[in-house]
Structure 1
Amino acid sequence: MKLRTRKSTKQTALLCTVSVIALATDLPRDAFAQASLPPVTVDAPQPQRARSTTATRSQTSARATRRTRTTTPQISPAPSVNERIYSADNNSYVAGQASSASKTNTPLIDTPRSVSVIDRKELDDRGVTSIPEAVRYTAGVTTGGFGYDPRFDQIYVRGFSTTTLGDFRDGLKQFPSGFTTFRTEPYQLNSVEVIKGPAAVLYGQSVPGGLVDRRSKFPVENQVNEISLEGGTYGRMQTAFDIGGASSDKSLLYRLVGLGRAGETNYDIADERLMLAPSITWRPTIDTTLTAYAILQKDETDASVAMLNRDGQLVNVNGATIKLRSSDPKYDYLRQQQAQVGYKLEHRFDDVFTFRQHTRFGVLHAESRYVSGSFATPTSTVYDRGAVAVGDDQTSWQTDNALQADFATGPVVHRTLFGVNYDHNTWDFKLGLGAVNPGYALNILNPVYGIAGPTQGYTSGSRSTQEQVGVYLQDQMRLGNWHLSVSGRQDWTDRTQINSYTGAVTGARNDNAFSYSAGLLYHFENGIAPYVSYATSFQPETSLGLDGIVLAPSEGEQIEGGVKYQPRPDVLLTASIYDLKEKNAAKLAGYVNGIAYYASVGEIRVQGFEFEARARLTPELETVTAYTYSDAEITRSSIATELGKTPAVTPKHTASSWMNYTFLNGSLEGLGLGAGVRYIDATWTSNDNTSRNNGYTLFDLAARYDFAKLGPKFAGYQASINANNVADEQVAVCNSGYCYLSQGRTVIGTLRYRW
């Protein structure tokens, strides 16, 4: 199939040219020093101790002796580039805390639930190019439930998809549209955080398995500027930059992150992107911080990447499996433009009260088209196709307001959080289905791609509006080495759907739900921290019952127990067992006049064990190693053949390990090598468990070199190469009647300059 040339290629080439000039120019060191302002440590991360020291003294006396305020920053020795660019407390794969876990700065070792953080260092070392790539070495997480489909971030946590209701960015939900979602560029992220198990008590409606929170890059005092160039397989070309700075008194900080990419990925799928993310932080006083930001993005990929299948399997001709796309890469596209604008405000009133507000407004516009169809007979070799067009327009607004209080009642130290959250989302969905066109037919014995034709007109449409108001309260208590967290949240949701052409209401429902959680942890002096927790969640449904009314929300609950071990800041081991249930899920109940109706009778139970190790084993060697055992079962269903069966594409065993070795001395000093292995067990192709997807093992490799080891004139220059799925295993993944292929081999080389 012939590669396509797209408009954004010229724009990307222009950005590449600018970056090449910057990289090739030997700028004076004094210019990069930005007048050599002395570094400060106002926000510098502090090494995490083996046991939390948060609020160890009575805060009653702390209030009596309020800290002395000063606007003069403390001078400290200049940190290295790596110490400045990577925010982990110890320049390793171990994060000290996860903002999303409790919406406070509680250390991970003192958080009574399983949470994983993929920081910027790991993202760079593994050469991550998508969110699924970012999390696939994480315990309890699987990706590619529909093979390789770059339209969405397909991520499952503890057996439940987080693609839609589990998609968060900086603590606020990224709502989906009818056919598309807000797409996230990993280069613009500082970290990715995965909460495992129900999280509705802080975030409202969400899936039982958990959520994935993408944490953006914002201004920092010790900014490391960066320009990078990439080239790779399938004509990939990319240039990116991350530039920032601060005023002399550090009261004003700024950052600008940008990226341009052109090319394709496996199976002739377009992969083009332009992204610009400016942000600015203003600190008028030591107690007040205001950050305003915007994320502007324009993408093009393909709308349908499914493979030809028959009876829920890849097409087989004369005993050989045929791997052909059902759509046509030349005709097919998904063009998406999105913008998000927001601000984050924090004000500390005194030593007790701190107020935080995060508000964001987002818009999304997408136009898609592809061809799809079917075989006329079970033995036909001609796939008859017609045109399909899909349109999405979305506006969303979210705000989260939280008041934190730090105080003590006798020997018990409290960190209490009271919050109010509001979400509003409206999306217009348009669909056009064309008749079978003989000119679009595909002969699987002699496949010819490259069709041309008009875009199908829209024939139906709907407008959906969803609102949610949530009020939550959380109290994190500490008594000696005991840590107790208790939370509760009340939500009110309202959703309405109308026919865009007739104005008729096709679905409406108001619901309210109370979610709660509790966790208890004991932190021994030797770094061992056993814990137990309980949490609930709810998820509004869109399916209609026999009476034409939208069904009540499904519910989730989980009991989890585990142990964490952190003997030093650069080692964190977590082992957990859990019993997770989803109840009252919508299941197909029958048809009336050809129209499907559903009933709230579905129930899935997942019992599992997870182990994750993030550790620096030696000064040169670090690892992320994970294993997951998941026993999932459909315990209630309106479909008799599903009872007692395993949900589709849910593996029982998954395991992965990433090792990174950096030479610190000798003739190879400056060289870094990485290797990873990922195993995914066999899965069922459908809920009735009649056929299987094969299990598979994939290998990843990486190498990088820091040219500073060659001499001072090369300081800041780095080169790397990352190869994913080096054996090019294109594994078939069939899910509920649709078949896809997993992503094949990709090789990407990167040259970057940091100063």
Structure 2
Amino acid sequence: MLLAAGIVACVPAMAQTSGGTGGATPAPADPTLLPQVNVTGDAETAFSPVQGFVARRSVTGTKTDTPVLETPQSLSVITRDQMDQQNAQTLNGAVRYTAGVTPETRGAVGTRYDLLKVRGFDADTYWNGLKLLGNGWYGTPQVDPFLMERIEVLRGPVSVLYGQAGAGGVINQQSKLPTLDPFHEVGIEFGNFRHKQLTFDLGGPLDADRHFLYRITGIGRAEDAQVAQTRNERIAIAPSFTWRPDNDTTLTLLGLYQYDPESAAYGSVPPSGSALPNPLGRISRRFYDGDPNFEKFNRTQGSLGYQFERRFNDVWTVRSNGRWFHLGQEYNSVYGSGLQDDNRTLSRGTAASTDNLDTASFDNQLQGRFNTGPVQHTVLAGFDYQHLNTNYRSGFGTAPSIDIFSPTYNLAIEAPERYLVRAHSNQYGIYAQEQARLGGFVLTLGGRQDWADSTTRNLTYDTTSKQSDHAFTGRVGLTYVFDNGIAPYVSYTESFVPQAGTDRTGKAFDPERGRQYEAGIKYQPPGMSALFTAAVFDLTRKNLLTTDAVNPYYQSQAGEARSQGVELEAKLSVTESLDVTASYTWLDTVYTRNADPTAGKHLPAVPSNQAAAWAYYTFHNGPVTGLSIGAGGRYTGETWSTDNSFKVKSFLLADATIRYDIGQAIPQMRGAEAYVNGQNLFDRRYVASCYYGEWCAFGFGRQVFAGLKYRW
């Protein structure tokens, strides 16, 4: 907020002279006056709820409220309606039908983390435009998707806006925010695996003039996991409060408390008996490679944040977002380390870690909207900062082996010896962006300079390492928007990510760099709620760490990986009754350069072909008025193992839902809705991926949920 106040203090002079000399005139008023407030019935903004599947505006691709049609990069928005229809239980579940995304690479295990890929590479997750920072070890944040209004997937490098961000893309989760109109919803849900869930979502004005608004959202969930002997439990609550002293100023405060006392397993199965034949039979999907006598996971997360906006006139606006985030976690795990020659005895190891981390993130922006002659400008300048302070006490050990076909649990397992690490890091960035429109042409230019430093100290072994990096990244994109809603575009964009450590000569590693060329077409038919997108791209990551060719105990920066592909996506409301989403992705991912034997091989856990389609129909007339039915299918093609010695088979999964508005039959129960949702309806047994060495993961079996919601 102090940074925001500083910007506010320096802007009035500009605001007073914005309509003066120099040929600049204010642009037409921005329809997004109050982006922090969801306004029922008002024009859609990049922050507001969306009815149906089709979002027309987004903030993730430009940090300004921009039509998706004018964003020169591939972008998808998963709306709250889509998440509810498909009953998304996790972030991975929410993006299952999205082009360019490979979700659930760890299948039914590893749900404690949001492990997924975009364009073949691990994706970074953001919350309200600020990165969810982890400590690079086991301390990684995860926020429940029920607390979100929308999830936006921006594909390709975006360091020009977000600084340290992976080359594949980012996933930005946007919170449910206070509403101008009263909103109340409670829900209860049951399912197989002893699934039980309670939810509530309440919001509205606190005074007659609607200067003060609130929202409080929460969820409680408990269930057995697919892996035997393990459970998932969660309690999360997210209160928020908005102050609107006038029509040009908003301040929203956001809080979060989330406690995960248990979170399934973080294990695997060996390839033999899962992805590959085993002469002794098939491994059960419920096989647990850990031990409840040792296994432990609980995580507590807390956050306080704010979103501030002040519009001085039709030209100048300042915004500031900030967040403090705390994570405390206990992690004990027993994991498989390799199948022995008898094809049934699995060697095992242990990992244990107590993690604590605190992060602070701020993003401050000055936006101007004006015309110079026939050219319409939206200019953005910003400064952001993120700080991380962490400590973790970790260690690795051994555990007794286990029979994969007849496992025995509750064995005596010795706790590993631990070491203590303390680390902190800082990242500063300044950035500028121009969106210039002349006729149908929209030119997007951006540049950013980053500075990053980190210090890591191992207190047990009395060692210290320091890292300092800086980088410039840019983006240029050109779009032409035809009157008929067709918008072809081309773009070039870059990324950078610092890497800790040194090579065998003691030289610090350079940051990983990424660059992408992309061309595509977007189509939004006038007068129709629909968006069709197609994109082709060439994406390269450089300076990847790989095993040193001279000394295998060190790493070198000889690695390079390339991802090329085609993405197609459609989201549309065919009629008032029918919503449809469909996607197809073709990817060619390969290590183009490496010092180890992976050079020339395909990236593991990334399919060459993916396709998904979902349709949802609501009856508005006739004897079944109020009934809605939905069905979809998800196809994932073959994926390679780490060493490319075998392929994991493709799989096709079916999902379905049926919902009924009870108020249509019983007027006294207006606002009540019952539903049944099924995922992997035919209980297909499949391996999600073999992602590292001897580690593979089974995907989710059939999941069935039945629930009741009441809104008033």
TM-score (norm 1): 0.85
Which of the residues 677, 685, 690 maps onto 2:633?
A: 677
Alignment of 1:163-178 (within 5 A): 166-177=124-135, 178=137
- Counting only pairs closer than 5 Å after superposition, residues 25-424 of structure 1 correspond to structure 2 as 62=26, 87-89=48-50, 91-148=51-108, 149-162=110-123, 166-177=124-135, 178-246=137-205, 247-268=207-228, 269-302=230-263, 304-309=265-270, 317-323=278-284, 324-329=287-292, 331-372=294-335, 374=337, 377-379=340-342, 381-385=344-348, 387-424=350-387
Query: Which residue in 1 is equivalent to 2:529?
Result: 570
**Amino acid in the other structure paired with 1:495:** S
Aligned to 1:653: 609
Aligned to 2:660: 705
Matching residue's letter, 1:670? G
Structural mapping, 1:570-649, within 5 Å: 570-590=529-549, 592=551, 596-639=553-596, 641-649=597-605
How far has the Cα of 1:331 moved from its partner?
4.0
Amino acid at match of 2:63: K
Confirm or deny that 1:668 pairs with 2:629. Answer: no
Cα shift at 1:753: 0.5
Describe the SS at the equivalent of 2:306: strand
Match of residue 538, structure 1, among 496, 506, 517: 496
Q: Is the 8 A contact 1:305 1:326 kept in 2?
A: no
CA pair 458-257 structure 1, distance change in 2 beyond 3 A: farther
Indicate conservation of the 8 Å contact 1:151/1:301, yes or no: no
Partners of 1:577 and 1:316 lie apart in 2 by 37
3-state SS of paired residue (1:92)? coil
Aligned to 2:7: none
Counterpart Cα distance in 2 of 1:563 and 1:124? 29
Extract unaligned runs of 5+ from structure 2.
1-21
- Deviation, 1:297, is 0.4
Alignment of structure 1 residues 420-431 onto 2, 5 Å: 420-431=383-394
CA shift digits 1:373-414 (9 cap, x unpaired): 556842264445454322111010000000001111111111
Pairwise CA distance, 1:261:
1.2
Q: 1:376 to 1:130 in 2, by over 3 A?
A: closer
- The whole-number CA distance in structure 1 between the counterparts of 2:441 and 2:434 is 14
Separation in 1, partners of 2:341, 2:550: 25
Segment of structure 1 superposing worse, 243-252 or 384-393:
384-393
Question: Bigger shift: 539-548 or 275-284?
Answer: 539-548
Q: Is the 8 A contact 1:244 1:254 kept in 2?
A: yes
Post-superposition offset of 1:308 = 3.5
- Compute the RMSD of aligned alpha carbons: 2.6
SS, match of residue 60 in structure 2? helix
Letter in 2 for 1:151: R
Shift of 1:445: 4.4
Whether the aligned pair in 2 keeps the contact of 1:233 and 1:265 (CA below 8 Å) is no
Runs of 5+ unmatched residues, structure 1? 1-57
Q: CA deviation at 1:289?
A: 0.7
Which deviations, in whole Å up to 9, do the C-alpha atoms of 1:480-502 show, x marking residues without a partner?
11111100000001012110324
Structure 1 residues 59 and 127: CA distance shift in structure 2, 3 A: farther
Alignment of 1:445-456 (within 5 A): 445-449=405-409, 451=410, 456=415
Shift in CA distance, 109/79, structure 1 to aligned 2, threshold 3 Å:
closer
Q: Which is further off, 253-262 or 484-493?
A: 253-262
CA distance in structure 1 between the partners assigned to 2:430 and 2:145 by the alignment: 31
Structure 1 residue 642: Cα displacement = 2.1
- TM norm structure 2: 0.90
Deviations 1:647-705 (A, max 9, x none): 1111111000011111111011101011110000101011x311111111111011111
Q: C-alpha distance in 2, partners of 1:404/1:358?
A: 14
| Partner of residue 729, structure 1 | 684
2:65 partner letter? N
Q: How far off is 1:591 after superposition?
A: 7.2
Rounded Cα–Cα distance in structure 1 between residues aligned with 2:336 and 2:94: 34
Q: Counterparts in 2 of 1:389-538, with a 5 A limit?
A: 389-436=352-399, 440-449=400-409, 451=410, 456=415, 458-505=417-464, 507-538=465-496
Paired with 2:29 and 2:283, the residues of 1 have a C-alpha distance of 72
- The corresponding residue for 2:14 is none
Residue of structure 2 aligned with 1:716, choices 645, 651, 671: 671
Q: Which amino acid aligns with 2:612?
A: S
The DSSP-based 3-state class of the residue aligned with 1:573 is: strand
Q: Calculate percent identity across the aligned residue pairs.
A: 35
CA distance in 1 between partners of 2:188 and 2:658 (Å)? 16
**CA separation of 1:543/1:726 partners in 2, compared to 1, >3 Å: closer, same or farther?**
farther
Q: Is the 8 A contact 1:219 1:253 kept in 2?
A: yes
**In 2 relative to 1, CA 637–310 (structure 1 residues): closer, same or farther, beyond 3 Å?**
same
Question: Are the aligned partners of 1:225 and 1:243 in contact in 2 as well (CA < 8 Å)?
Answer: yes
Q: Which runs of 4+ in 1 moved over 4 A?
A: 58-63, 86-89, 310-317, 373-377, 384-387, 452-455
How far apart in 2 are the matches of 1:375 and 1:471? 47
Query: What's the counterpart of residue 53 of structure 1?
Result: none
Amino acid in structure 2 at the alignment position of 1:294: G
Quote how far apart the aligned CAs of 1:300 are: 3.0
Letter in 2 for 1:551: F
Counterpart residue number, 1:22: none
CA distance in 2, matches of 1:311, 1:443: 13
Distance 2:234 2:300 in 1: 10
Q: Which residue in 1 is equivalent to 2:19?
A: none
Q: Distance in 2 between matches of 1:129 and 1:631?
A: 30
Task: Quote the Cα distance in structure 2 between the aligned partners of 1:559 and 1:725.
Answer: 36
**Bigger proportion of residues as helix:** 1
d(CA) in 2 for partners of 1:288, 1:600? 49
Equivalent residue of 2:445, what SS?
strand
How far apart are the structure 1 equivalents of 2:58 and 2:522? 15
More deviation, 729-738/523-532:
729-738
**Contact 2:340–2:346, Cα closer than 8 Å, also in 1:** no
SS in 1 for 2:166: coil
The structural deviation recorded for 1:113 is: 1.3
Q: Residue 430 of structure 1 contacts residue 458 of structure 1 at CA under 8 Å; is this kept in 2?
A: no
For residues 272 and 66 of structure 1, the distance between their equivalents in structure 2, rounded to whole angstroms, comes to 47
Identify if the C-alpha distance between structure 1 residues 611 and 376 changes in structure 2 by more than 3 Å, giving closer, same or farther.
closer
Cα distance, 1:442 vs structure 2:
2.4
- Equivalent-residue separation in structure 2 for 1:602 and 1:458 (angstroms): 33
